[in-house]
């Protein structure tokens, strides 16, 4: 049933790479994006970067959100970006959140993570950012 493209919900993958078990933040963000009308594929805990990238491809998402509170973000996030590049996924932006020191956040943004959010970020800001950076159907 052809629907105008503008009404098609944004599809977002929310995943937690690594062994980090803190999933509250990821769930809160997933729910906020859903309430903003997006389709959130919640991949859950303990995802390898390989799994995250394969899920993003199969689900054809418009945005990838990574959450990490364990401190392993500098090992995991760049690996996701690298794998995306290797699979020739160039049009799907990545944003992230969790416990990420400012310096790390800066470096992550430099290598291509579009936005990094820490504790206490308002959900409105996260939703606004998601809308702003998500790929639009071509």
Residues near ligand B12 (CB under 6 A): 20-26, 28-29, 65-67, 69-71, 95-99, 117-121, 126
Candidate list 19, 21, 60, 85; residue touching another protein; CB under 8 A: 60
Residue 37: helix, strand or coil by DSSP? coil
Q: Which does 29 bind (CB under 5 to 8 A by kind): ligand B12, another protein, none?
A: ligand B12
Residue entry with tokens 């990420």: 100
Nearer Cβ to another protein, position 55 or 121? 55
Residues 8, 92: Cα–Cα separation, whole Å: 16
**Closest to 84 (Cα-Cα) out of 61, 103, 104, 68:** 61
- Binding of another protein by 24 (CB under 8 A): no
């Amino acid at each position: 049933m052809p629907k105008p493209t503008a009404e098609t919900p944004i599809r977002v993958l929310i995943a937690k790479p690594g062994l980090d078990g803190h999933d509250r933040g990821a769930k809160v963000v997933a729910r906020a994006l859903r309430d903003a009308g997006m389709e959130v594929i919640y991949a859950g805990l303990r995802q390898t970067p390989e799994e995250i990238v394969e899920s993003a491809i199969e689900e054809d998402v418009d945005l990838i959100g990574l959450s990490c509170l364990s401190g392993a973000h500098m090992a995991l996030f760049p690996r996701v970006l690298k794998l995306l590049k290797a699979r020739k996924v160039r049009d799907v932006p990545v944003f992230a959140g969790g416990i990420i020191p400012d310096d790390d956040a800066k470096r992550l943004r430099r290598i291509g993570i579009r936005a990094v959010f820490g504790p206490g970020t308002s959900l409105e800001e996260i939703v606004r950012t998601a809308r702003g950076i998500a790929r639009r159907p071509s």
